[in-house]
Amino acid sequence: MWRGVAVRLLRGGGAGTPRAASGVAAAELRRRLENELEGIRGAGTWKSERVIASRQGPHLRLAGGGAGILNFCANNYLGLSSHPEVIRAAVEALEKFGAGLSSVRFICGTQSIHKDLEEKIARFHQREDAILYASCFDANAGIFEALLTPEDAVLSDELNHASIIDGIRLCKANKYRYKHMDMQDLEAKLQDAQKHRLRLVATDGAFSMDGDIAPLREICQLAQKYDALVFIDECHATGFLGPNGRGTDELLGVMDKVTIINSTLGKALGGAAGGYTTGPKPLIDLLRQRSRPYLFSNSLPPAVVGCASKALDLLMESNAIAQSMAAKTQRFRSKMMAAGFTISGKDHPICPVMLGDARLAAVMAEDMLNRGIYVIGFSYPVVPKGKARIRVQISAVHSDEDIDRCVEAFTEVGRKHRALP
Ligand code: PLP
């Protein structure tokens, strides 16, 4: 045994030293991976990660120095990610219910707080029941396969989130992809889908790259005409769209027409993690029996449940936070447009500053950071070619001064790079 340890140490295989597998297959794999990574770098689509050394919030400290950075690129729409009451609720849940369940829900992973949170989510959305997942990615991965069979059809907006696309891939229903928010195309596809037993229209409520909102009224009218169900992903709407922050269905007055909602606890609702489906009770019951990411994955940790539960309490008590975010969104959008920028979408805290050119978006985002403003540029293949942009996300905890500083920096940087006259 000691000889083995000595040999490993001599080969650099001691504790803490990474071990490289040897052999022809491992060498071939390494070569292929390195080529692929080089390809990503060469295509200019490498995604690097900035390391944050503080809590999530409007003002950040970046690892390696940068302090007092103004943050405009988190989905922390309501500023609850570091809200003192949300943090306290997490600590209390951690102390009372432990670090985690070491189990899936149906074996020994359901605590009273999981049931309470599901009940609260259903009440918040005015639905019959709700089921928790480790993420909304999982909720989207689990629903279509559990619900739809080869006799059914699913009609999906072409710009739906990757997790909806993946969830649909996993199911055996007949698949239709309609053009982004194009109701004529959706109608044509619904007509064709009449031959199937059940039709489900699936759309993001708000689209994260453009900040545009699905035409849910028209979608629900078509669904009624062609006897279809409506599913919405409300990750970029829950907690802040609509008069009481219930989401896109409340904003557009169709709460009683949308059958299924999937959403996340990892953005506006405290920002920790977790996702859910809410809708008719028999659907939720079926998901508990059949949905694979629910059945075969660990329960949500108590601290995470505590965060989300407190975030929902705060929102159900008052919609003041959501209103303050709406006012700040309005301030940013109107000032930027007055400065001469084109901002995509309408009234949504996702404010894409449209620039067109990928390089321009990248250098402007870099220059913004040099001025202490953290924003991210997006270009092809994340968005269509020629539609590069910098995506700005507004939060309730940005002050008016933060917003004005951001607009001033954009104006300076825009002039410098000739994106503005
Ligand atoms: N759906 C949409 C529209 C999203 O933007 C995201 C997150 O980026 C997800 C689903 C996945 O949510 P989660 O982070 O909870 O997995």
For 35-93, the pLDDT digits (tens) are 999 998 988 788 889 999 999 999 999 998 778 899 999 999 999 999 999 999 999 99
pLDDT at site 404? 98
Question: For residue 140, how far is its CA from the centre of ligand 1 (angstroms)?
Answer: 9
The mean pLDDT of 108-121, rounded to a whole number, is 98
Range in 16-25, 92-101, 263-272 the model is least confident about: 16-25
Task: State residue 10's pLDDT score.
Answer: 46
- Beta-bridge partner residues of 199: 153, 228
208 is catalytic: yes
Closest of 308, 299, 311, 310 to residue 99, by C-alpha = 299
Pocket of ligand 1 (CB under 6 A): 135-137, 140, 161, 163, 204, 208, 233, 235-236, 264, 266, 275
Residue 159's contacts (CB-CB under 8 Å, 6 or more residues apart) are 180, 204, 207, 209, 210
Assess whether 267 carries a catalytic annotation: yes
Which of 75, 77, 136, 269 for mutating ligand 1's site (highest number of atoms within 8 Å of CB)? 136
Q: Tens of pLDDT along 171-207?
A: 999 999 999 999 999 999 999 999 999 999 999 999 9
Please write the tens of the pLDDT for every residue from 341-387.
Answer: 999 999 999 999 999 999 999 999 999 999 999 999 999 888 999 99
Residue 334 alpha carbon to ligand 1 centre in Å: 28
- Which member of 156, 208, 263, 395 is catalytic? 208
Catalytic-residue membership of 344 = no
Tell me, in angstroms, the distance from the centre of ligand 1 to residue 420's CA: 33
Map tokens 């979408």 to a residue: 345
> How remote is the CA of residue 120 from the centroid of ligand 1, in Å?
20
* Cα 229 to Cα 202: distance, rounded to the nearest angstrom: 9
